[in-house]
Structure 1
Amino acid sequence: MTDLSMLGAHELVAGFRSGTWTPVDALNSALDAVRRLDGAVNAITMLDEPAARGAAELSARRWRAGEPVGPVDGVPLTVKDMVPTRGWPTYRGSNLVDDTGPWDVDAPFVARLRESGQVIFGKNTTPEFGWKGVTDSLRHGVTRNPWDPGRTSGGSSGGAAAATALGMGTWSVGTDGGGSVRIPGAFSGVVALKPTYGQVPIYPASPYGTLSHIGPMTRSVTDCALLLDVIARPDPRDWSAMPTHPGSYLDGLDSGVSGTRIAFSPDLGTGRNDPEVEAAVRAAVDVLREQGAQVDEIDLRIADPVEAFHTLWFTGAAKVIDAYGPGARERIDPGLRSAIEEFGDRATAADYLDAVAVRADLGRVMGELHTTYAALLTPTMPIAAFPAGQPAPDGWPSPLWTSWTPYTYPFNMTQQPALTVPCGFTGDGLPIGLQVVAARHDDAAALRVGRAFEQATTWHTQHPPRTR
C-alpha cells in the first residue's frame, strides 16, 4: 500500500485527480503519522481533527466534481505556532500568552493556504517567540530530531522541520529571522527556503522587523517551489511586501545549471566546519560542476556582522517581552532574558543606526558578488545536530545560537533568498545541508540550482525511521 504521508504534493494531487485516493485518505495518513511518531519528537502543539476532516471532505467533493480550487487542493499540512491562525490560539512557545484571544485573524500566508484548499490540521513547536536556533520552550518542552531523538531538530522552526521529515503533513511553513527555516532544515534533512524579504507578506509585522521572512519547508525543491507559488501572493496588510512574482516558480525549475556561474565559499571567512560537513559540501559542489555549472571557490572574507545582528535582533525581542508588562522577564526562557539584558537593553539609537549601516554595507558586498555569480554556495550549518535540550554543542565557547550559525543570519541582514537542500550524512547518520544563496528578487535562481543538485542525487529521497 502507498504511504500517502510521504508522497510529494504533486504525487498526492495526481492521486486526487485520478480518484486513486482522496484528501480524506491523505489527512488520515498524516494524522496516523502524528499518532505514531510525534511522541518521539514533540513537533505538534495542537491538532484540530474535526475542522481538518471537514476541510478534507469539502476538498474531496471538489475533486469528485472536477472542480478543485487550485493545484494543491486537499494537501494536508501544519504551520508554525508563531503566526495567527483563525480559531486557534497562537502561543508562540510562551507562557506569557494566555488563552483569551481573540483568535480571529489569519496571517497572510495562512489565508492563502485556506484559499488554495489545503487542509491545515495543526500547529507545530517553536522556542519562545522564535528567538533561538533550537526548539525548546518552557511551554511546550523539547522538540527532537527525527533522525535521532537524542539530538536537536534545530530552530526556531524545529517543529515544522521534524513534522515534515516524518510525514506529519506533506509540508509546512515556518518563519526565518536568522536561519529559522534553514537551521532545522539542515539538521532534520528537509528542504527549506528563506525567500527574498517581502516575497511572502507578513502580518502582524514581526518585532524583528525586516530580518524576518516566511518560508516553505518541504521534502523536495519542486514542492518548495510549488508551495512558494501559493504563499507568495499579495496581501494589503503588509506595507513592505514586494510585487508578486510573475508566473510560477516551477517555470524553468528543471532547466539545469549548464553554463551558470556559481561562487563557493566554504566558510564566508568567519566560520569553521566539522570535517564531515566540509567533505559533504565539497562533494555537492563537485556534483554541480558535473552538471555543467562553472563553480569558483572564492575567498569571501566578509566582516562578521554578528554584533550588528544582535543589536537588531534583541532590541526587537526586548520590545516583545516588555509589552507583557512588569514581571514578564522573570517568566521567560532564561537564555532569552540574558540576551535581552546584554544586547537589547544596552543598545542606543546610535548603536541601532550603526547596525543598519553594517547591514547596508553587507548588502552592497553581496550585490556586487551577484553581478558575476548567479548563486553562492556555502554549508548551511558548520556542524550536524547536537544533543537536544541544550543551547549549543558540548564544549562550545558560547551558548548563544549565533555562535554556531555563521552562515544563516548574514542573509537575513541582506534579505537574499537562501535555500537549504540535503547533501549528505555524517558517519552517525545525521543530515548535512548545502545552502544556495541568490541575489535579492532572484528566488528562482536559488531554486533552480537546488533542483539541479537534487536531480543528480538521492539525498532528498532518504527519510528518517518511521517505525517508532
Structure 2
Amino acid sequence: MDHQPPAAHLGDLPATDLLALYARRALSPVAVIEAVIARAETAEPTLRALYAFAPEQALAAARSSEARWMRGEALPLDGVPVTVKENVATEGVPMPLGTGARHDAAPSPIDAPPAARLREDGAVIFAKTTMPDYGMLSSGLSSFHPLTRNPWDPARGPGGSSAGSGAAAAAGYGPLHLGTDIGGSVRLPAAWCGVVGLKPSHGRVPIDPPYYGRCAGPLTRTVADTALMMRTLSRPDARDATALPPADLPWGDLDGLNLKGLRLGLVMEAGAGLPLDPANRDVVEAAARLLAAAGAVVEPVRPFLTQAMLDGLDLFWRQRASLDIEALDEARRARVLPFIRDWAAGGRDLSGAAVFHGMSQMAAMRDAALAAIRPYDFLIGPVSPNPPFPAEHASPTNDPARAMAHIAYTVPFNMSEQPAISVPAGFTPEGLPVGLQIAGRRFDDVGVLRLARAFERIRPALRPWPMVE
C-alpha cells in the first residue's frame, strides 16, 4: 500500500473516507495511525485527553489491518483509529473510573461489549480517554487523570464525563471516539467541543454494567461517522440484560428524510436549572429558523422538566455516590475529588422515603419527556444552557449544591430512554462551539441521525478545526 498521506492531515479524515481510501489501496492504516500518534504526542502536553496511550500496540494492529486489506479480507472498520472512554473496559488495561480512590485498579480481564465490537470489526484502539471521578462531573477535572482541556480554548473545559473523548475528537486524534452518557455525558462534551455526539436509545448499544439511563455512544466529527460506528456498536451482547432485541437497522441510509412538513417541537426553556445563555439561544434559534425555512413545521414546546424532578434525581445520585464512597477505607476516601465528596455527602443521611421519592421523580421525568414528544416527530433545542466553562471548574456553577443545574436539557432523554444527538450548530461571539440537540421517539435512532444529517447539510459553514501545538 502507498504510505504517502493525501493533502489533508490524516487525523482529520472521516472514517468513511479512510475506508474508501483503504479499499482503493490509496492509503495505509499504518500511515494513518502514525499521523494520529504524532498529532496526539504534539497536543497531549496541552490537552491531556488520553489515558493508556499505546502507540506500539496500535502500530502492530495497524500493520495487521494493512495485511487484511491486502489479502481482500478487510473487516468493517479495519484500520480506523478509535479511542475508548476509560470506564469502558478494555482487556489488559486498568479501569480507575477517573478517581484516585482506584489508583491501583487491576487490569480488566476482558473487553466490555462496546470495546469488543470495535475490536472485532478491526478498529485500532490506540488509547483510552480521560473522565472525572466516577463519571459524575461534566468536566475534565479528575483526582486520577491530569486536567483535560478544550482544543478550541485550553482555558476552558471540554465537558464530561466523556471529557477526553470530546477533546480527542475536536483535536483530530482520528475519527471515532466512544463515550458514555447517563445524564448528558456524551452530548455535553460534543456540544462544547463542536463535534457530533449520540446518546442512543437505551439498550441499543449493549453495555456492561448497565444502569438507569446509562448508554454508550459515539463522538465523531460527522453524522455519517456516527452512523458507521453505530452499525458496529449496536450488535448484540448477552452481558447486557437491558439490551434491545437485535435489529438490522439501515445505519447507512441517512438521506431519506424529507424536511418538508416534518413536525419539530422547539424546547428553548428547560423548566429547571441554569438560565439559557443569550449566545447559546441565538445559535439554537438560528438553527430552528434554518429547519423551518427548509420546510419543517417548528412549534414552541412548553418546559416539561420541573425543579422537583431535577432535585429528586440529584438526591438519588448523591445517595448512590455516598454509598460507594462510604464503603471505602479512610485513605481511599481522601483520594476522591473534594467536590465529589462534598456533593455525595448530601446523600449520606437520606431516608428510604427520600430515596424512593428521588426515584419517583426520575420516573416523572421519563413520563414528561415522552408526553412532550408525542405531538411531534422530533424535539430540538439546546444541549446545554451555557458555553464551555473554565477548565479548572468541576461544573458550570462550580458549586456542589447545584451540581446538576446544567443538565436540564439532556438528562430527561436518559430517563425516557429516547435517542438524542448533539450536532454542531454554530459558535458564540468568542468562538466557542454550540450544539443543537435533536431527540427522537423511543427506538428511532436512525431517524435522529437522518435529521442531524439534514441539518448538517443546511447549516452555515463551521469554523476550521482548532490546531493545538
**Where on the TM-score scale, by shorter chain, does this alignment land: which range?**
over 0.9
Whether contact under 8 Å (1:89, 1:103) holds in the other structure is: yes
1:318 to 318, 322, 343: 322
AA matched with 1:55: A
Deviation, structure 1 residue 2: 2.7
What does residue 242 of structure 1 align with? 244
1:271-295 CA-partner distances (Å, limit 9, x unpaired):
5211111111000001111222111
AA matched with 2:261: G
Q: How does 1:111-190 map to 2 (within 5 A)?
A: 111-190=116-195
In the alignment, the residues of structure 2 paired with residue 34 and residue 281 of structure 1 have an alpha-carbon distance, to the nearest angstrom, of 32
2:216 to 211, 214, 217: 214
Higher deviation after alignment, 118-127 or 249-258: 249-258
What does residue 386 of structure 1 align with? 389
In the alignment, the residues of structure 2 paired with residue 314 and residue 281 of structure 1 have an alpha-carbon distance, to the nearest angstrom, of 32
Whether contact under 8 Å (1:24, 1:60) holds in the other structure is: yes
2:32 to 4, 26, 29: 26
Q: Are residues 301 and 93 of structure 1, via their aligned partners in 2, closer, same or farther at CA, if it must alter by over 3 Å? A: closer
In the alignment, the residues of structure 2 paired with residue 367 and residue 277 of structure 1 have an alpha-carbon distance, to the nearest angstrom, of 25
In the alignment, the residues of structure 1 paired with residue 206 and residue 313 of structure 2 have an alpha-carbon distance, to the nearest angstrom, of 22
In the alignment, the residues of structure 2 paired with residue 322 and residue 250 of structure 1 have an alpha-carbon distance, to the nearest angstrom, of 47
1:39 to 29, 42, 45: 45
Deviation, structure 1 residue 463: 4.0
What does residue 228 of structure 1 align with? 230
1:333 to 331, 337, 359: 337
In the alignment, the residues of structure 1 paired with residue 344 and residue 117 of structure 2 have an alpha-carbon distance, to the nearest angstrom, of 34
In the alignment, the residues of structure 2 paired with residue 252 and residue 2 of structure 1 have an alpha-carbon distance, to the nearest angstrom, of 25
1:167-207 CA-partner distances (Å, limit 9, x unpaired):
112120001111111111111101101111111111134xx
Whether contact under 8 Å (1:273, 1:382) holds in the other structure is: yes
Percent identical residues: 36
Whether contact under 8 Å (1:309, 1:413) holds in the other structure is: no
1:375 to 357, 374, 378: 378
Whether contact under 8 Å (1:253, 1:447) holds in the other structure is: no
Q: Are residues 463 and 213 of structure 1, via their aligned partners in 2, closer, same or farther at CA, if it must alter by over 3 Å? A: farther
Q: Are residues 56 and 323 of structure 1, via their aligned partners in 2, closer, same or farther at CA, if it must alter by over 3 Å? A: farther
TM-score under structure 1 length normalisation:
0.94
What does residue 439 of structure 2 align with? 437
In the alignment, the residues of structure 2 paired with residue 303 and residue 204 of structure 1 have an alpha-carbon distance, to the nearest angstrom, of 29
Q: Are residues 322 and 254 of structure 1, via their aligned partners in 2, closer, same or farther at CA, if it must alter by over 3 Å? A: farther
1:91 aligned onto 2:96 = yes
What does residue 205 of structure 2 align with? 200
AA matched with 1:204: P
1:5-61 CA-partner distances (Å, limit 9, x unpaired):
101111011110011111111111111110111211110122112221111111111
Q: Are residues 223 and 86 of structure 1, via their aligned partners in 2, closer, same or farther at CA, if it must alter by over 3 Å? A: same
What does residue 57 of structure 1 align with? 63
AA matched with 2:310: V
1:9 aligned onto 2:12 = no
Whether contact under 8 Å (1:392, 1:399) holds in the other structure is: no
What does residue 106 of structure 2 align with? 101
1:265 aligned onto 2:270 = no
Whether contact under 8 Å (1:144, 1:153) holds in the other structure is: yes
Whether contact under 8 Å (2:188, 2:383) holds in the other structure is: yes
Show structure 1 runs of 5+ residues with no match.
none
2:294 to 287, 291, 309: 291
1:346 aligned onto 2:349 = yes
Show structure 2 runs of 5+ residues with no match.
1-6
Deviation, structure 1 residue 88: 1.4
